């Protein structure tokens, strides 16, 4: 029997996805847009709460959906988001061992990996993309901290 | 952390999602995929470089061995071709000499008409052995059973046309030739010199008959040359034709020096034999 929380999360994911679709993108450089990755934040929250396994599957399909609708090349965000789900899901496993700062570093490092991988697979590796990768990683991280404080009252990252 | 813990369901889920993602990614045909494929190819090339290097060394080694073999074969062929070339040159020279000598003898016979016309035949032969015993001889590969049967006491020439000796023993398929350098060898020669009569201011050719006797190696002396004969170095002594063995006009030796200051009636004439004894491969027998 499917748990009610799964249905709730599924519906919430659909909502998040629709918001992501219509979220405005900011032009940084020629042919280089910055768009807040709300799905990434949502997957991060899910990973911390539910652990790795189920969220890797969600991240894969969520990324695939994002690839199909927003980006156009399949396999980019499904790959990078699966990696993020795996890395951030470690916080669920080692919450009691890792300090809050370590958890922050893990999340930020995962975001960096996410955008490095997606940037490499879509545009190739170049120094000019470093500011884009940093901004794209930092903004969701800040938003995640805000969400943690406002919605979860700081309980996402705790020992 | 144990390695077995890494291989839990989370790891497998990640691995499967990565594999599916990559399959989906590489199935699309965009520029970014091509770029990634090129990068992957570079990485694979880098990773397989030691293997390629190792294989290259083996290939180079094999190729080197094959090249060495082919070099040896080529060298063998080359030496064979060189031998053929030398042989060809020698045979060509023989042909030229043969045609030249035949012409000279025919002319001589026509001019002289002293004896009965004799058909002259040059029989080519190959030197098969060379003796260095008490008398200097060579063995040639023609004998009595040859198309043109060989007899004893026939004049033998080298490929340049110089007198080489005479046949002394004839077998069915081989003959022995006494060389001109042998101490027991002797041949009648003639030397033609130019004499200027100062009174009449007239020039006449003087033919002097002598005898060639070998001394040491390729040198010899001319005996019986009158002191009145003006011999200068470089003059060629030809066979006189007096002997029944040697036809006339075969070049025998070249004058090196002539000394008239002696107490004898004849001058001392030192000569150098014209035949080349170092390259005795083919000879002619005058039949």
Is A114's pLDDT higher than 70? yes
Is A141's pLDDT higher than 90? yes
Q: Do A121 and B36 touch (CB under 8 A)?
A: yes
Q: CA A26, CA A135: separation in Å to the nearest integer? A: 12
Q: Which long-range contacts (CB under 8 A, 24 or more apart) does B92-97 make?
A: B93/B159, B93/B160, B94/B124, B94/B159, B94/B282, B94/B284, B97/B157, B97/B159, B97/B160, B97/B161, B97/B284
Is B1's pLDDT higher than 60? no
| Residue A60 contacts B where some CB pair is shorter than 8 Å | yes
| Residue B1 contacts A where some CB pair is shorter than 8 Å | no
pLDDT band at A59 (very low <50, low <70, confident <90, very high): very high
Q: For B188-226, write each residue's pLDDT tens digit.
A: 998 887 777 767 777 777 788 899 999 988 899 998 888
**Which has the higher per-residue pLDDT, A40 or A156?**
A40
What chain B residue is nearest to A123 in terms of C-alpha separation? B32
| Residue B5 contacts A where some CB pair is shorter than 8 Å | no
Q: CA B166, CA B187: separation in Å to the nearest integer? A: 10
H/E stretch holding A141: helix A130-150
Measure CB to CB from residue A124 to each of B20, B26, B35 and give the nearest one.
B35
**Which has the higher per-residue pLDDT, B120 or B87?**
B87
**Substitution target from B6, B11, B14 for chain A, most A beta carbons within 10 A:** B14
| Residue A119 contacts B where some CB pair is shorter than 8 Å | no
pTM summary value: 0.51
| Residue B32 contacts A where some CB pair is shorter than 8 Å | yes
pLDDT band at A4 (very low <50, low <70, confident <90, very high): confident
CA distance B51 to chain A (A): 28
Is B231's pLDDT higher than 90? no
| Residue B30 contacts A where some CB pair is shorter than 8 Å | yes
């Amino acid at each position: 029997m499917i748990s009610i929380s799964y249905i709730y999360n599924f519906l919430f994911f659909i909502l998040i996805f629709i918001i992501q679709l219509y979220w405005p993108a900011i032009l940084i450089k020629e042919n280089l847009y910055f768009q807040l990755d709300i799905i990434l934040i949502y997957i991060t929250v899910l990973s911390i709460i539910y652990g790795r396994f189920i969220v890797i599957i969600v991240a894969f399909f969520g990324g695939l959906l994002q690839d199909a609708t927003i980006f156009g090349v399949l396999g980019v965000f499904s790959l990078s988001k699966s990696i993020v789900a795996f890395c951030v899901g470690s916080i669920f496993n080692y919450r009691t061992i890792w300090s809050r700062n370590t958890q922050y570093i893990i999340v930020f490092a995962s975001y960096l990996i996410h955008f490095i991988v997606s940037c490499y697979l879509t545009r190739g590796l170049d120094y000019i993309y470093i500011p884009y990768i940093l901004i794209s990683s930092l903004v969701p991280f800040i938003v995640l901290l805000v969400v943690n404080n406002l919605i979860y009252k700081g309980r996402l990252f705790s020992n | 952390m144990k390695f077995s813990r890494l291989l839990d369901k989370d790891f497998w889920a990640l691995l499967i999602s990565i594999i599916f993602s990559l399959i989906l990614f590489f199935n699309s045909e965009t520029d970014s995929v091509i770029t990634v494929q090129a990068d992957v190819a570079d990485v694979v090339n880098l990773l397989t470089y030691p293997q390629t290097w190792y294989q290259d060394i083996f290939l180079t080694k094999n190729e080197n061995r094959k090249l060495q073999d082919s070099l040896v074969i080529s060298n063998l062929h080359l030496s064979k071709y060189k031998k053929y070339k030398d042989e060809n040159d020698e045979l060509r020279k023989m042909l030229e000499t043969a045609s030249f000598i035949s012409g000279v003898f025919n002319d001589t016979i026509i001019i002289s008409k002293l004896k009965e016309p004799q058909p002259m035949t040059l029989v080519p032969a190959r030197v098969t052995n060379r003796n260095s015993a008490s008398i200097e001889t060579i063995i040639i590969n023609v004998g009595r059973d040859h198309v043109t049967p060989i007899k004893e006491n026939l004049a033998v020439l080298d490929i340049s046309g110089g007198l080489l000796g005479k046949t002394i023993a004839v077998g069915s398929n081989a003959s022995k030739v006494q060389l001109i350098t042998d101490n027991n060898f002797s041949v009648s020669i003639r030397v033609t010199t130019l004499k200027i009569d100062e009174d009449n201011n007239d020039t006449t050719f003087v033919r002097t008959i002598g005898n060639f006797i070998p001394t040491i190696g390729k040198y010899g002396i001319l005996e019986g040359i009158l002191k009145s004969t003006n011999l200068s170095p470089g003059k060629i002594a030809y066979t006189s034709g007096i002997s029944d063995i040697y036809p006339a006009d075969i070049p025998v030796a070249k004058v090196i020096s002539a000394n008239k200051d002696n107490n004898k009636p004849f001058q001392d004439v030192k000569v150098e034999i014209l035949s080349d004894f170092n390259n005795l491969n083919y000879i002619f027998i005058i039949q």
